[in-house]
Structures are given as C-alpha cells and as structure tokens.
Structure 1
Amino acid sequence: MYTILLSLAALLTLLYRYRNAGRRPKDLPPGPPTIPFLGNLHQIPATKAWHQFKAWADEYGPIYSLMLGPSTVMIVLSSDEVVKELLDRRSGNYSSRPPLYIGQMISGWMRMLLMEYGKTWRFMRSLVHDHLNVKASISYVPYQDLENRQMLLGFLESPGRWVDHIRRYTNALTTQMVFGFRTVSIDDENMHTLFECVEDWATTFGTVQAQLLDIFPVLQRLPDFLVPVKRKAKALHAKELKLYLLHWNALKRDPCFAADVALAQAKAHSDETLTDAQASYLLGSLHEAGSDTTWSTLLGFIQALLLFPSVALTAQAEIDRLCGDRLPTMDDEPHMQYIRGCVKESLRWMPTPILGMVRSPVREDVYEGYRIPKGATVVMNVWALHNNDSRFPNPRAFDPSRYAHDTHSAFEAAHAADFAKRDHYTFGAGRRSCQGMHIAERSLFLAIARLLWAFDFRMAKDDAGNDIVPDADALTDGVLVRPEGFPVVITPRSEEKAEAVRREWARVEGKLDERGQWMRVPEGMFSKEYVPLVG
C-alpha cells in the first residue's frame, strides 16, 4: 500500500510539473489553440505546410506563435513590416539558427547556411562576400554569357531535355566561379550527384522525423537502427563530403573562389583558418545554392509561360522592339522593364525557400508587446508574404506588370528603408540574406530574355489532343521546393532564330579547348590576394 501511495504521489508530482507543457504562455504572440504536451504539433501538415502557415497568418495576423511539443516555441512572421523590423533592423539578434540536428548531421556541422551565429560563420561569410559582392559579381558576366549560349543550343538540338539544359547552365556557372572549371555535358555525373544531394538534403531535413528530433532532443540519443532518419543523414553526409572534397582537391590554379580559399588557408592565422573539410563544405554549399535555386526558379518560369501565355507575347514584343535579330545582352537589362518584371515575378510566384530558412534570436526580444523567447524558432513565412492580396492583387496570377515601375535590383529592394519597396523574399532578409543575389538576377535575366528571344513554349497534348495543363500547386516537398515534372513543347520562333542560335554559339566556341574548357580565362575575372582578417 505504501509503495502504491509513493507511486501515485510521484505521478501527481510529474503531472503537476508538466501541467502547462504544450500550452502557449500568455505573453507570446497569438496562435491556434493548443493541446497538452503536443501544443500545435499535431496541426502542422506533413506535406505542403506552407498553405496552413498562410491560413494561420490570415487568421492570427502578421506575427503568430506555435507551440511544438512541450516547450519549443515557433514565431512566424508574415508581413513586410514585421520582417523589416525584426530580421533587418534587429538583424544582430536574429542572425543565428536553431540547432537543426538532422540538417547539421547531414552537413557534418559545416554547412554555412545552417551554422549558428559565431566566429566561424562570420569568417566564412567574409570570404564569400569578397567573391559575391556587387563589384565582383559583374566580372562573372562572361561566364554567364557563354553558358547561356550553350543552353540555347541545347534547347534547339534536344528540346526534350530542356530541364537538364537549364540544370547544366546554372551548374556550369557556379563550377567556374567556385572551382575554376566548366560543366560541359548535361550527362555530367558530378552535376547530377550534386542535384541529388540538394534534393535529398532538402527533403530529409524537412521531414517530420527530423523535426521531432529537434522538438524532443532525448530522441537524438536513440541508436541509429531505431531512427532511420539518422542513418539516412549520415549516408547523405558521406555522399556530399566525397563530392565536395573531389572538387576541392582538384587543381586550383585559375582565378576562382577555391583558389583564394586555399590561399586563405595558407596565410590565415591558426584560429582563422578552415580545415579541408570545412573549406570543401563552404565551396560545395555555394555550388549547391548557385546551381539549384536558379534552376528551380527557371522551371517555375517556364511553367508560368504555359499557364499565362500572354506573358510570352508581351515579353517577346519588348525583346523584338529593342533587340530585333541580335541576341539580348546584359546591356539591354535597364531598357527591358517587362523582362525585369518577369525575373521578379518568377522569384515571387514560386519561391524556392517557400518558408524561408529558420532563425533563432540570440537574446529574448519584445515586439508590439509580445515576447519572443531566446532560442525560439523564427520562421519568415515567404509564401504568405508573396501571396498577400494587399501587396499583390490576385497573387496566384503570374503578372510581371506588377513591377512596371520598380527599377530597383533585388539587393536595393532588400536594403531599402521602406519595407513596402521589397519586391520578394526569395533571397531572405537581414544578415542571412543570399549573398549571390546579384549573380542570380543576371542569370535569370539572360535566361528569360534569350529563351523568349529564340523560342516559343506551348502546352503538350495528350493522346486525345487535349492540353496537358501543369498544376502550379504541384511542388516538391522540403525546405526547398520546385515544380514537379511537366511536359512542354519548345520550338524555335523561326528558322532565322534557329540559325542565329547556332551562329552565336559558334562565335564563342573557339575560345574553348578540346575538353570544352576556357583556353584563357576572360580578362577582368575576379580573384584576390587574400589578406586575413584581424580581430
């Protein structure tokens, strides 16, 4: 009897201690009702969660909270004003990340994107800034021009593999900038491995299993055979590291980021250097980001052309009026406002980081009377921001004319004092914003302008002769998304255009050796004699 009473007392004590587990403290932003212990965890969909996050924003306002499990707090930001105030103006407090156990395990705790704010992250970011700032990014235009021309030729000669031609275009640009060599073939094994790694990382990192290990850290101690996602994470890390070290250990003689990082290794102070594994992950992560996100955005744009055929007609009229029979160039960009609008609308309409990359405040904060706890998971609700009816009327329509009077670059818009001037949030916000946005915008402009200059895009038909209409809501899952596969019929606008595509490739092909690599690196290509940071 005494033992039973002791057990009952212990149970009652435990229940009393955890009586508020999962409940929302009254000083947090509002949110959906919770249940004991689970909080709101049971209400988050396993797939396409961005729709639910927007629905909650519509119901609970521009800043709301979710309780994940007994104690994890998620703060969701869903308006331009809130994002500007917290992630931009208070970026010093919102530049860290939550632990993200599985994402970090896949990355060997070396992926800059997921690193908590600290000395190593700042050192890596300074290296990246030197190579991706506004001035340096202009020097990469010859690479973009060459790869774009080869992409056009690929669309002409094998249009059925258009997805791979875009993939090679974005991949080859980043291999040149980062590692100093071109990806020549759409069948390149390392290229396909890279895209597989990105997809596996994004989907595995975003699974319910992965989230549960963050919400209930005790589960991290379980042996791998009981936690399949841990086994998969370790296998993915081995696959990524093998690929990244392969590129890192190659010769780094030509001007490229890898060459300068190697120089930094040799010259930096012992507490400011990177191991080979860290250096390979820094470079490999940049290679991933530059290859995958621009590729995904262009897939979304071509899908939009099928669903909104008037866009191509308007864009082609602008291109023809300015360029006629010649190939569009970056010099045309200031004079092609509708094409600039196509770039911005592509980034808004189908944002690859659809719920942003989560942040974590270093210190407790207060906004509009609401407490934001230290270490909370902060989500920038990109889908809700991009589908705000008051900012973007009829938001699911692809309408480049929204930006008819917006002459700002993405960088200028992101740093504007007025939050209403922000064009989209695909490149993030604050100190964690994408450093390669200048390059991405140019790659998108050249691709969109030249593809529409040379080709027409139409829906494929089924056996009954009916159009196969793509589903704009059919996106892959994970922390990064893209459209699921869809067919498209691609034809040159005229035989003259087809001949021009062949001629334009012939003009640059002579600059390449028998392996398809540059015989001589274009003049003015950015590289630097690295000087280690002090202090």
Structure 2
Amino acid sequence: MVLMACWILLKVLRSGRREKYLPPGPPTVPILGNAHLMPWTNLHLKLKEWSDRYGPVYSLKIGSTTMVVLNEPRAVHQLMTKKGALYVDRPVDEQWKLATDGESFFLAHAGPIWRTMRKIAGQALSSKVLDGKLAEIQEAEMNQWMLDLLNEPEDYRSHTMRTSTSVTSIMLYGHRAPRWDGFWASLLEAIKPGSYLPVAQFPILDWLPGQFKTSKEVAKSAYCHNVSMFSRARAIVDSRRELGDIRESLLDRLIDGLIKPDIPLSFSQITHGFLGAMHQGASETSAMATLTSVLFLALNPQVQEKARQELDRVCGVERIPRWSDMENLPYISCIVKEGLRIRPVVPNGIPYRAREDSWYEGMLVPKDATVVVPIYALHHTYYANAAVYNPDRYCNNLKSSYENASRPDYENRDHYTFGSGRRLCPGIHLGERTVWRMTAKILWAFEIKRAVDEHGKDVELSPDAYEIGMSAAPMPFKVRIVPRTAKHAAVIRSAAADIKKFLKQWE
C-alpha cells in the first residue's frame, strides 16, 4: 500500500515535466508544467517573447499535455506543408465542444464530415466562382459602402462590418444586410483563450463545483444563441423558397441538390456547423482586416498619397476601381498584404493536433501534442523592421495570398494570416478580394485623416490598441473620412444609384 502511494505521488510530481527530446522551453514546475506562466491576455506577445528566449521551435507543458510552437517559416513548411497529413486535425478542447457541439467547420476534427465541408467550401469560394457571378455582388456592396461613408463617415466602423457581413450573407443565404443592426449582421465569439478552465490539460478541474465553472455556461449559452440565430436564417430561406423565390446562394444550391455532399450532412451540420461557421468567420475577419488598414493608413498619410498616384493613373476621377484593375494597381496589393502582416486577424492561429510522433531537427513533436503556428510572432520575427508599417516591402512579391501559401519558396511567403497546411483558410480568395476592393475604393474616393479635438489638435491614434481573443480587432478609433473632391463624391452617388435595384433583389 505504501509502495502504491509512493508510486502515485511520484507519478503526480513528474506530471508537467518536459520529456526527453521535446523542443526546449521555459522551466517547468511539478503538476502545472508551464501553465502558471500562461498569460490571461496578450498571449501573442508572450509567444514571441518565449521564441526570442528559447528558439524558433519550443515546447510548453500545460499540465500533462504538450504544446509545440513553430515560430519559423522553415519549420512550418517542413511540418505543416510537407507532412500536412499529420497536422490536419484539431486538439480536443471541451470549451470548443460545448460552444459548437463539435460541428463547427473551422474547429471540427479531421474526418469525413470535415472533408465534405471543406470540399464544398473550396468549390463555392474558388477564385473562378468569385470572379464570375459573385463579383458583381461584391462590387455593388462596396459601392453602397462608399455612399454610406460619404453620408455618415463617423460610422465607418459599422458600415465596414455591415458591408463585409452583407457580402457573405448574400453568397451563403441569398439575403443581404441592409443595416448593421439587422439580423444578417449578428455575430458572436465565445471561445476566447484564457476565458475558460483548461479541463483537457487538467482533468481534475472537471470535479470542481458548478459555481467555479461559469465558463461552461457561457459556452453553452453561445451554442444556444448560434443555433437559434442560424436556424432562423435557414427558416427565412425556407420561407422565401416556399413562395417560389429561388436565389443564387450556397444554401439554395445545397437544398436543390446542385451541390451534392460526398456524404449526407444533417440539418444541424449544414445550418450551424458549416454555414454558420462560414458566415461568422468570413464576415468578421474581412472587416477586421479592413479596419486595420484604415487605422494604419490614417497613421501613414504618405502611403495614402503613393496609392492615390497609382489610382489616379489607372482610374482617373471618372470611375471607381474594380477587382479587374488589380494587376494595374500593385501598390494596393502591397497595402493589403502589409495590413494582414502587421496585425493578423487571428494572431495566435488556430491550433493543430499531431496525429503521430514526428521529428524536426532532432526535436520530437509527440502524438497528440497541440501544435501552434503563432502568426503574430512569425510576422514580427522573420520580416525586416517588422514593427514598422511599410507596404513597400511587398513591391517584389505581388502574387496572391493563395499563390504565396502554395509556393515551395517558403522564405519569401508574404504572410501567414490565412493559416498553413491542409487547414489553410478556404475563404482565402474571398477574404483577399473583399479587403482589396475596400482598400482600393476608400483610397480612390477619400482622404483618411486623424480626428481633431475641440482645440484643433490631432486625436492620438494607437497602432497597438486592439481587442484580442481568438481574433484581433482594433478598438474603436476616431478618424475623419473626407471626400477627395466634389467630382469623386458625385461618382460615388451615381454608382450607388446604379446598383440600387440590383441590391434590392437580395433583400
């Protein structure tokens, strides 16, 4: 009995220790490992700090579990790309499970259901599809966005969120979001890191009384909210279809059998797990990326001026830039890339799970380890003068984000905002087109200036004031969005009038 007790005590005390062959990392303590070092906020900064101290590939022990951080382009390429089949899964996380019932497309484990969803998303959001019938929708919504900015520039934030959401809603459901406070613009996030107990890492925490596990109730509430919201979206589509109103949307095509899943998907899997996740992910991230560009452009008027010289040469004052102008407006692409680099929308990435043991330069990545590609840390470690906003760094790399993510020349990849390996964001083409269109149009039409106070002095803008959870969005900031000339304003009003009837069909 005494021997058994000693064995159990030894086992407990050894829990949390870094095993042989793991990458280096911060010193551990018994049981906790490195859990006591994990920050409640600004994890992205801590991941970079640890990388600076322990090397580009390092490990953390969170209780009995292992986390391996890959803050190096070569390691990401060798493991996430060349051995992608081993890193296609997601970790086991109770909070994710409670918040999504295990159905979320982006957080789901790799299996037949996820592969089916991935295939549908790839087909529906391919560059060919987006540059076909869906291009007119994006251009029209962006023209409406410019009119909104012209009429209510102080509400630029809600106008940007509405526009990004509306584009996504039309593509998925066949309905636009005419107002930001309308149903189609509803969003929710409930799985912020650090907001819940790490039960997967410390199973004993599951024994705590309910009053100590309020995060579980938050997750359950989030799930119920999402189910209600996206069930209502489905009901609206079903109601209009009963009246014979069949539209060009992903849900309409799924219902009509024009898109056939490889395996049957349940009502819940399609409605909440797939379309719901796509709606939240696509609409929110594009808007956040655009707001980042607005913030940094306000801080860097010389970048605006350089972009306008290019825009004036290609478009003049007579017409608004379109995606078809992309090849002739390379500096706009540079601005988009730099915004995605300097403040990535998902700063810590979405973690992966190692399916098997694998090795990298003599270091073990053990089976079931959580593998993190820390996007912010990567962007601020392996790019020259990383803290400086400088779109010019991309003047010699004008390939699309997808082309960069697919290239074997990993050392010259533009950024990692859309992820890596087989979990590369399926909305990469949509996201890039949305942010590019918004950036080109706002720079063609407006000057983005700092707001001034009652004394005529510039209101301070902070490039570091971000609200960070799983995603990162700039906190509300004040800027002045001023039409460049009366002619530009007239062209905006004319373009918005021309698309009014077109947009009406999606309401």
TM-score norm. by structure 2 comes to 0.94
1:213 partner SS: coil
Q: Deviations over 1:364-392 (max 9, x none)?
A: 1111111111110000011111112xx42
**Runs (5+) with no aligned partner, structure 1:** 1-5, 520-535
Matched, 1:240 2:226: yes
Matched, 1:209 2:196: yes
Equivalence for 1:482: 473
| 1:467 maps to which of 450, 458, 461 | 458
2:67 partner SS: strand
Equivalence for 2:390: 399
Distance 1:321 1:169 in 2: 27
Matched, 1:448 2:434: no
**Matched AA of 2:251:** A
Matched, 1:84 2:99: no
Equivalence for 2:335: 342
Matched, 1:108 2:95: no
**Matched AA of 1:395:** A
CA contact (8 A) 2:149 2:159 kept: yes
Deviation at 1:510, TM superposition (A): 3.2
1:278 partner SS: helix
| 1:183 maps to which of 152, 169, 177 | 177
Equivalence for 1:530: none
Distance 1:483 1:440 in 2: 18
Equivalence for 2:307: 315
CA contact (8 A) 2:95 2:196 kept: no
| 1:133 maps to which of 122, 126, 131 | 126
Equivalence for 1:24: 18
Matched, 1:368 2:354: no
Go from structure 1 to structure 2 and tell me whether the alpha carbon gap of 1:467 and 1:262 turns closer, same or farther (over 3 Å shift).
same
Matched, 1:260 2:253: yes
CA contact (8 A) 1:102 1:233 kept: yes
Go from structure 1 to structure 2 and tell me whether the alpha carbon gap of 1:25 and 1:295 turns closer, same or farther (over 3 Å shift).
same
Matched, 1:517 2:492: no
CA contact (8 A) 2:253 2:259 kept: no
1:348 partner SS: helix
Q: Superposed, which structure 2 residues align to 1:279-428 within 5 Å? A: 279-281=270-272, 282-325=274-317, 326-388=319-381, 391-428=382-419
CA contact (8 A) 2:169 2:184 kept: no
**Matched AA of 2:32:** L
| 1:145 maps to which of 139, 143, 149 | 139
Distance 1:457 1:123 in 2: 43
Q: Deviations over 1:221-244 (max 9, x none)?
A: 555443100011111100011111
Pairwise CA RMSD of aligned residues?
1.8
2:289 partner SS: helix
1:394 partner SS: coil
Distance 1:428 1:312 in 2: 28
Equivalence for 1:531: none
Distance 1:470 1:433 in 2: 33
Equivalence for 1:39: 33
Distance 1:146 1:134 in 2: 18
Distance 2:257 2:14 in 1: 52
CA contact (8 A) 2:451 2:459 kept: yes
CA contact (8 A) 1:112 1:124 kept: yes
Go from structure 1 to structure 2 and tell me whether the alpha carbon gap of 1:222 and 1:338 turns closer, same or farther (over 3 Å shift).
same
Distance 1:263 1:189 in 2: 25
Distance 2:455 2:476 in 1: 20
2:449 partner SS: strand
CA contact (8 A) 1:224 1:231 kept: no
Deviation at 1:85, TM superposition (A): 0.9
Distance 1:518 1:481 in 2: 30
Deviation at 1:426, TM superposition (A): 0.6
Equivalence for 1:533: none
CA contact (8 A) 2:148 2:159 kept: yes
1:498 partner SS: helix
TM-score norm. by structure 1 comes to 0.89
Go from structure 1 to structure 2 and tell me whether the alpha carbon gap of 1:504 and 1:190 turns closer, same or farther (over 3 Å shift).
closer
**Matched AA of 1:117:** A
Distance 2:354 2:232 in 1: 36
Matched, 1:505 2:493: no
**Runs (5+) with no aligned partner, structure 2:** none
Go from structure 1 to structure 2 and tell me whether the alpha carbon gap of 1:189 and 1:259 turns closer, same or farther (over 3 Å shift).
closer
| 1:64 maps to which of 33, 54, 58 | 58
